[in-house]
Structure 1
């Protein structure tokens, strides 16, 4: 194949779907990975891998190997997988472990499983989704911010570990993404200041392009007007 092969984790979420739509529009072959079902049926340039628990290293490895078996290689890993909980620090400890598993363990396992394939690409790219809230956490954001801060540091470490290769590793740091869930949680907010999923997807796909070959280890803020 001459086109780029792009793997998207968390592909059934609002952001994941926006990334997939943009990647398909620019001509990528796309493999969509999610714990939940994948809406699109498999096609020539689309592989849906639903029911994948990325907190399990073996499941992550099987998914990445399936992508290479189908398309022959892998060029981009775009990690939109994750979740959010608002909870004060004296809340249940389980939320801290759950945020670590959902936001950091999933990304770590996906990256580890994909690395052998990505380093064989002449222009491999990893783009993770961090959070501006992990730079300055607000009340009730401790568990979420701690897990996303881990994603930031994982991104920086991987970039250093792979800088002798053609692979680049970066992260985007959005503020509030305009999603139905966020609108429901903040009904009185001015949503015009939020980041649109398609806007964030465009930044992610820039980092996953040939044009961004000189950018690695970057944590790119995508604030909207927040």
Structure 2
């Protein structure tokens, strides 16, 4: 039976790969993104652009549209987020607030609002995008790693909060993802060691599956090329 899947940040490279994977599996996919429109289509997907996921009213309106079109929400994949590299001495304090807003508060907002729908599903799945770089932060990674560490703690706490309610909550922790932006930012790196978006999508699909029903509160590293 086709499930209703929401992918935040669904217009980006990783969100596109995740959305395509769920669609290929026969699920109904809704992509919610801050960008106005996607660069690439996903067959059959419901695209909702221009949504600030830290705005509760706008986020609720998007979820209402998804629930009406797709009959609820069974799976929520929180891909939306951002990255910055700057030292504390040379950078801006605004970066800390921006990273918290983009990576943590966006996640917490839509997850809280989607909880009634996910619980009603009976087999709800939440999959968050954490970061391997948040396990031990390197120089210039403080603001980013702090916000992603918050996603890790949210994942753990919510998994216990929802115990017994039929909803699992897990996070994948990628190393460097092979995207055009990362290649442009690190042109001298060995791209062959970077994780492919499709490989991350495969792990997310597993965590959203019935076979992964006994896994919750897990922070799963995803670090091989793929």
Task: Tell me the TM-score range normalised by the shorter chain.
Answer: over 0.9
Contact 2:75 2:126 in 1 (8 A): yes
Structural mapping, 1:134-145, within 5 Å: 134-145=134-145
Q: Is the 8 A contact 1:32 1:38 kept in 2?
A: no
Which residue pairs with 1:24 in the alignment? 23
Supply the distance in 1 between the matched residues of 2:153 and 2:99 (Cα, whole angstroms): 16
Task: Please tell me whether the aligned partners of residues 23 and 42 of structure 2 are also in contact (alpha carbons under 8 angstroms).
Answer: no
| Kept after mapping to 1: 8 A contact 2:20/2:42 | no
Q: Secondary structure at the match of 1:177?
A: coil
Match of 1:81 in 2: 80
Q: Is 1:216 the equivalent of 2:185? A: no
- Please give the TM-score of this superposition, normalised by the length of structure 2: 0.96
TM-superposed deviation, 1:42: 9.0
Give the 3-state SS of the residue equivalent to 2:121 in structure 1: coil
Per-residue Cα deviation, 1:172-201 (whole angstroms, up to 9, x for no partner): 000000001100111110000000000001
The corresponding residue for 1:36 is: 35
Q: CA deviation at 1:71?
A: 1.2
CA contact (8 A) 1:131 1:175 kept: yes
Cα offsets for 1:42-73 (capped at 9, x unmatched):
97x42111011001111111111111111111
Deviation per residue, 1:64-83 (Å, 9 max, x gap)? 11111111111000010000
* 1:37 Cα offset (Å): 2.6
Q: Which residue in the other structure is 2:115 paired with?
A: 115
In structure 1, what is the Cα distance between the partners aligned to 2:137 and 2:159? 25
Residue 170 (structure 2) aligns with: 170
Residue aligning to 2:98: 98
Deviating 4+ runs (over 4 angstroms): 40-43
Shift of 1:41: 6.6
Matching of residue 55 in structure 1 with residue 45 in structure 2: no
Structure 1 residue aligned with 2:45: 46
Number of aligned positions between the proteins:
223
Q: Is the 8 A contact 1:86 1:140 kept in 2?
A: yes
CA distance in 1, matches of 2:114, 2:37: 20
Q: Distance in 2 between matches of 1:190 and 1:105?
A: 33
Segments of 5+ residues of structure 1 without an aligned counterpart are none
Q: Give the aligned CA root-mean-square deviation in angstroms.
A: 1.3
Q: What is the DSSP-based 3-state SS (H/G/I as helix, E as strand, rest coil) of the residue aligned with 1:16? A: helix
The alpha carbon displacement at 1:122 in A equals: 2.1
The normalised TM-score by structure 1 is: 0.96
State the distance in 2 between where 1:158 and 1:100 align.
Answer: 18
Which residue does 1:151 correspond to in 2?
151
